Copies of this chain bind each other. A is one copy, B any other.
């Protein structure tokens, strides 16, 4: 049995601009060289190159850095479905690491599993490309995240 997931309807017609604006204000994304590759209601794809500055002791990308991109992807997948005026915060996330994050670049795909007025649950996967011609990237990490819509809290604008 596969319960088909209907396409998501954004509550904010301006969802694309607000996600892009917010993404562009995340200095961590700029520092890591993350690119917003795809954006649809409830779905975000990000890409990030390997960067030796962010490796762990074996030369792989640090699990926390892959998690950083997974979290941003989940946050904006959720944000794309939120009402106008809401800001977005991560409540919690869990990441499983399935293979070492080695490769020349990584692709992170996040999808909303369950949208909600206050809480939205997202799933995301990270794939590693061994080289630029790699046509079958390897699944390296999987995240489940709970994302919250926040309104009217000081210091947390949209």
Contact = CB atoms under 8 A, between A and B. Distances in A.
Contact of A94 (B92, B138, B139): B92
Nearest to A153: B100
Interface in A113-129: 113-114, 118-119, 121, 123, 127
Contacts of A104: none
How many monomers of this protein are in the complex? 4
A26 B59 CA distance: 8
Interface of A: 1, 3, 22-23, 25-28, 31, 45, 52-58, 62-65, 67-72, 87, 89-100, 102, 107, 109, 113-114, 118-119, 121, 123, 127, 136-139, 142, 144, 146, 148, 155-157
